[in-house]
Amino acid sequence: MGSEMCIRDRDKIVGNIAALGLLAGTLFAILEIVRRYMFGVVFEWGQDFVIYVIIGSVFFYFSVTQAKRAHLVMSAFTDVLRNRGFGKIVLIARIFVSGFSLFFFSFFVYWGHFAVERTFMMGRMSQSMFLPLWPFQLLLLSAFALMALVTVFHLYQDIRELMGKKVFEWAPAEIHTDI
């Protein structure tokens, strides 16, 4: 029970940070619209700020939805397999996807580290030439690192489930939004 509360608290913290970024980006975009059409002026860096904050917040929140396994899935094929008694095949496929995801996220973080470092050292700026790019890249890199960490836990959970053992009693096997 204690670890469940801790996980939910972390989800709330990361989720609230992402929501705050989305809110800030949206409110700033509305302010820019008002400034443009009522006063005829805008901040030259305003569009860059809105784009970077909203995209960064969305990617940051991906780790929360991934941790809850509350992602969009097309489950028709896996549901048919499960209903016909091929639950182990579905679990093996989930392990394969988690392994590939871990490879992808880790690869992105590994090479992204060098990109952030190079962008910082070169002093690269956004298109408006006002905002440095490295904080945005670091936010994306952090989001991918969180997703890699979550994937490690999912992979461990799925492998243990394949062995017939439940690791995290509080963690659902899958909560998804069907499309």
- Tokens at 30, concatenated: 């509305």
Report the distance separating Cα 28 and Cα 19, nearest Å.
14
Structure tokens of 85? 């008694």
d(CA 127, CA 62) in angstroms, rounded, equals 26
pLDDT in tens, 110-119: 999 999 999 9
Full domain range(s) for residue 112: 2-178
Reported as a single tens digit per residue, the pLDDT across 5-55 is 555 676 788 888 889 999 999 999 999 999 999 999 988 888 889 988 999
pTM comes to 0.75
Q: How many domains does the chain have?
A: 1
Amino acid at 65: T
CB of 150 closer than 8 Å to CB of 69 = no
Percent helix, strand and coil across the chain, each rounded to 5? 75, 5, 20
